[in-house]
Amino acid sequence: MKSALFFSLLLSTGSLSAVAETPNIGADEVMLERGRYLLEIGSCNDCHTPGFPEAAGELPSEQWLTGSAVGFQGPWGTSYPANLRLKVQGMTEKEWLARVRQPMLPPMPWYSLRDMKDEDLIALYRYIRTLGPAGDPAPKPAAAEMAVSTPYIDFTPKNLPQQASR
């Protein structure tokens, strides 16, 4: 019941403040529910939770956001989804806000985070922190000329149209 009320109010107002004033729903609970909601609709688990897409999203939250050793390889090199549960444990909210608004390696859509409101990013941060530390750090990115021994998904564009000579 609380969740249904939360989401209907959130959708109708687009604001955390209106939901926080609702009886029987604490501000902290609202913030955490908002963080979980943003994580889910933002598809964070698709890359940052091993096996999530293969399980059609049916993995328990205890397994969420532990990073992955499956890389994404393209012209930039090979990048790996970070273990967000470990990353946020050592960051303050202020550090988190600054970090998630900085460019990141593909295919991370960092520009979506850059454009989010502070209150949404803080809700996301706080929710991730409630999951607690788990798992191991993801491998470090590798430059384009470096071979990797981990599995990876090839993000190299193919069959691009020829560019006209200038």
Residue 148 lies in a domain: yes
Residue 28 lies in a domain: no
Q: Is 72 helix (H, G, I), strand (E, B) or coil?
A: strand
Instruction: Provide the whole-model pTM.
Output: 0.79
Residue 3: exposure state from Cβ atoms within 10 A (0-12, 13-18, ≥19):
exposed
Is residue 13's pLDDT more than 80? no
What range does the domain containing 130 cover? 42-154
Residue 131 lies in a domain: yes
pLDDT in tens, 63-94: 999 999 999 999 999 999 999 999 999 999 99
Predicted confidence band of residue 25 (pLDDT cuts 50, 70, 90): low
In Å, how far are 47, 86, 132 from 69, measured between CA atoms? Answer: 10, 15, 20
Residue 94 lies in a domain: yes
What is the tally of structural domains in the chain? 1
Residue 138 lies in a domain: yes
**What is residue 24's predicted lDDT score, i.e. its pLDDT?**
52
Average pLDDT, the chain: 87
pLDDT in tens, 109-153: 999 999 999 999 999 999 999 999 999 999 999 999 999 999 999
Is residue 11's pLDDT more than 80? no
Residue 69 lies in a domain: yes
CA separation for the pair 76, 40 (Å, rounded): 27
